[in-house]
Structure 1
Amino acid sequence: MTARLVLWDVDLTLIDARSIGVDWYRRVLAEVTGVAMRHVPDMAGKTELAITGEVLAAHDIDAAEDTVRAMFDALVSVVLADRDVLSLRGAAMPGAARALDALAEVPGVVQTLVTGNLPEVAFHKLDAFGLHRHVDFGIGGFGAESRHRHDLISTAVAKAGAKHGTEFPPESVVVVGDTPRDVAGALHHGAVAIGVASGRSDERSLREAGAHVVLPDLTDTEAVLTAVRG
């Protein structure tokens, strides 16, 4: 098989932290601005930069660069403080560990992330469930880099190419995620889009978004391998 760059989404693809994420933002907003959260934006498939901007705007707070940076720093601190809570209240998605392990055994496969999370937050989330071992966090696309999901894919591909001394053409890049935004980002780059209906989006909506392959979840390891191999 030719080299494959596999770009994993995190939330509701590899882990489920739905019960905690809004609470983190509520605490961060109060800590940084002193304002109590009144409005929670739709976070699915969005980047941290976009979510933070929407949270601030919804509370009539200017999204100045230093305020956004303070929000990011506070978020990292809150997630680290909740490391043990995360492992109790959250969960690894079914089949995620086996899928990561199996792909790590396939020659030529490089695994990293394209996620709306900050890199530190993504690490803590995966580390809490032992899912970090096969993921190269140094070459991913993360949520502080752009408001737009498709930019993160381009960033990750460039980082991976620089590290491995080779180009990863679009057809060798595989994006795995649970939302139509993940699919749209993959298609924008010309990458292979694997939709996983383990989040709020069902199989039909992922197909309609243009996913090349749609899986109900990650429990069928052979189906994941087949989808990645193309």
Structure 2
Amino acid sequence: MELMVLWDIDHTLIENAGVSKEIYAAAFSALVGREPMEPARTEGRTDRLIMRDMFVREGLPVPDWHSIETALAQAGEARLGDLRRRGTALPGVHEVLKAASAQRRWVSSVLTGNIAPNARVKLSAFGLDSLLDLPVGAYGADAELRPQLVAVARERARRLRGVAADVPTVLVGDTPRDVEAALTSGSGVVAVASGIHGPEELAAAGAAEVLPDLSDTKRVLGILESFAGR
């Protein structure tokens, strides 16, 4: 059965060990000339919203998006080494992504709030980029709200891989915003309590399937296969 699986990155596939917030702070500093007074607020939001919020909270005009995106990409590239030293791929991630990529009729990509260059940096730091169909993914520059990214990924899968519009889609992520994006787009969802949100909070957000992590490859693949058959 055909299926499109869209994985979140931070705290679902990798632990970034604070590097993400350093990237936002560095991008802000490059644009403003000083450090932000408060760290970025992330929690599953897109880079467009995260950076805009930083400027609004500081009482500053929001720069044009091209300038912000360029600063973010430069900050992300500069921290690849830090990410490799301090971060890690989460338990079972290599194995489950390899297993998903081996499914002949599946498209396995990402749905992330990160801009595409920084998504690639984070995945390549741990050798995960080759296990995902990244051109099909949806990224933080593509829309402001996470639910809107699902349509972006579906359209790219149709255009680039010939995937039919009605192929089942399932999101895998660690925040209530991942759950919301799935539910409001008619997608399935597998919530993973590997970030700051516990199983009860993810279930309360509407996730019927909640896992502690992705370490049980057989179980994860079985759940994903169940969505393919719906």
Same fold at TM > 0.5: yes
User: Is the 2:142–2:149 Cα contact (8 Å) retained in structure 1?
Assistant: yes
Partner-residue secondary structure (3-state), 1:50: helix
Aligned counterpart, 1:164: 161
Question: Following the alignment from structure 2 to structure 1, what is the Cα–Cα distance between the partners of residues 50 and 163?
Answer: 33
Aligned counterpart, 1:29: 28
Q: Which amino acid aligns with 2:193?
A: A
Q: Which amino acid aligns with 2:213?
A: D
Q: Which amino acid aligns with 2:183?
A: L
Aligned counterpart, 2:170: 174
User: Is the 1:139–1:160 Cα contact (8 Å) retained in structure 2?
Assistant: yes
User: Is the 1:196–1:216 Cα contact (8 Å) retained in structure 2?
Assistant: yes
Aligned counterpart, 2:9: 10
Please list every run of 5 or more consecutive structure 1 residues that lacks an aligned counterpart in the other structure. Answer: none
Partner-residue secondary structure (3-state), 2:153: helix
Q: Which amino acid aligns with 1:58?
A: R
Question: Following the alignment from structure 2 to structure 1, what is the Cα–Cα distance between the partners of residues 123 and 13?
Answer: 8
Please list every run of 5 or more consecutive structure 2 residues that lacks an aligned counterpart in the other structure. Answer: none
How many residue pairs were aligned? 226
State the Cα deviation string for residues 26-57 of structure 1 (Å, max 9, x = none).
Answer: 22211111132112242011000000110111
Aligned counterpart, 1:118: 115
Moved more, 136-145 or 193-202: 136-145
Aligned counterpart, 1:92: 89
State the Cα deviation string for residues 61-119 of structure 1 (Å, max 9, x = none).
Answer: 21242xx3222212211211221111001110111100101111222111111000000
* Mapped pair 1:183 → 2:179: yes
Q: Displacement of 1:145 after TM fit?
A: 1.5
Q: Displacement of 1:60 after TM fit?
A: 1.4
Question: Following the alignment from structure 2 to structure 1, what is the Cα–Cα distance between the partners of residues 152 and 61?
Answer: 27
State the Cα deviation string for residues 135-184 of structure 1 (Å, max 9, x = none).
Answer: 111111100121100000110011101122231426x1010000010000
Q: How does 1:18-97 map to 2 (within 5 A)?
A: 18-65=17-64, 68-97=65-94
TM-score (structure 1 length as normaliser): 0.94
TM-score (structure 2 length as normaliser): 0.94
Question: Following the alignment from structure 1 to structure 2, what is the Cα–Cα distance between the partners of residues 70 and 217?
Answer: 36
Q: Which amino acid aligns with 2:42?
A: M
Question: Following the alignment from structure 1 to structure 2, what is the Cα–Cα distance between the partners of residues 37 and 107?
Answer: 46
